[in-house]
């Protein structure tokens, strides 16, 4: 299966190395807004010899397109006329970019869209109760470094460096959270896409004394209560959990596994 990666940051780099070390996929192209970053990654690969390709050509030549760039790239990919073809698959890591492109997503008839569970647990259970949910709450706690530079932090002039103890810095809706914390809130977007529940309540806590990215989810309805907590160590990118990478790699492995666990 021919693969192409859009976005050569930490996750894109590690996925490229995973594919390079395997035998089921072959990298035909890489793309990044920083061409030097993509070309630097190409030099590190041992078995694969991908080329730097513009997004249109990468989509055209790839059977599996992996998005690990940023949410603003997702819409560009979904609009591409070469995407919606039989036997093409698109794996999206920046699920926050789907929220403003749900109409485009709904029009895809042939391309298979893959959304890994990412940094959370219990997504199968939440999908199974979609349509029966009465409340869904997400509380995300992160180290200071993982929240610095977020638009909400800047616009509200929050000085994270002065925090001595953990503090709630945001409470609001899914759309407000995605706008305010675009690099931190893919979890909330994935929850919405799995649950189809419109009124997700999001709380974000800054904790100067933790090293974990923690996501606590509580879902309630006639089925009972689902509670999950995932405490993830950050990757080399402090805004990304290492579990998100592992989830993406597992989703890729599943394409070739004949035994599927979970739904």
Dihedral of alpha carbons 175, 204, 137, 108, sign: positive
| Given 88, 89, 142, 215, the catalytic residue | 215
CA-wise closest residue to 125 among 231, 225, 199: 225
Strands (E), the chain: 2-6, 26-31, 51-52, 64-67, 89-92, 112-114, 133-142, 167-173, 201-206, 213-221, 224-232
Strands (E), 103-221: 112-114, 133-142, 167-173, 201-206, 213-221
Q: If residue 72 lies in a helix (H) or strand (E), which one and from where to where? A: helix 71-79
Q: Which residues pair with 204 in a beta bridge?
A: 140, 170
CA-wise closest residue to 136 among 220, 213, 77: 220
Dihedral of alpha carbons 24, 29, 33, 37, sign: positive
Separation of alpha carbons 10 and 21, rounded Å: 17
Which residue's structure tokens are 């992160």?
142
Task: Collect all residues with Cβ–Cβ distance below 8 Å to 201 and sequence separation of at least 6.
Answer: 135, 136, 137, 138, 171, 172, 173
Separation of alpha carbons 247 and 92, rounded Å: 12
Q: Is 143 a catalytic residue?
A: no
Catalytic residues: 215
């Amino acid at each position: 299966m021919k693969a192409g990666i859009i976005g050569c940051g930490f996750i894109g780099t590690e996925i490229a190395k995973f594919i390079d070390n395997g035998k089921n996929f072959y990298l035909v192209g890489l793309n990044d807004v920083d061409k030097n970053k993509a070309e630097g990654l190409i030099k590190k690969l041992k078995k694969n010899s991908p080329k730097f390709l513009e997004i249109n050509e990468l989509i055209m030549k790839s059977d599996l397109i992996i998005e690990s760039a940023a949410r603003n790239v997702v819409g560009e990919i979904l609009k591409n006329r070469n995407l919606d073809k039989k036997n093409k698959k698109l794996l999206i890591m920046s699920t926050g970019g789907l929220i403003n492109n749900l109409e485009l997503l709904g029009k895809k008839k042939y391309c298979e869209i893959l959304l890994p569970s990412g940094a959370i647990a219990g997504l199968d259970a939440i999908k199974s109760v979609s349509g029966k949910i009465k409340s869904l709450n997400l509380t995300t706690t992160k180290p200071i470094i993982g929240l610095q530079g977020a638009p909400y932090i800047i616009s509200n002039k929050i000085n994270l460096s002065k925090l001595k103890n953990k503090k709630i810095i945001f409470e609001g809706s899914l759309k407000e959270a995605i706008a305010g914390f675009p690099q931190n809130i893919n979890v909330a977007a994935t929850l919405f896409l799995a649950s189809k529940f419109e009124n997700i309540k999001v709380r974000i806590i800054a904790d100067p004394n933790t090293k974990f990215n923690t996501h606590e989810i509580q879902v309630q309805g006639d089925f009972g209560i689902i509670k999950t907590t995932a405490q993830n160590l950050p990757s080399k990118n402090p805004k990304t959990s290492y579990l998100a990478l592992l989830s993406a790699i597992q989703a890729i492995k599943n394409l070739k596994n004949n035994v599927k666990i979970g739904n």
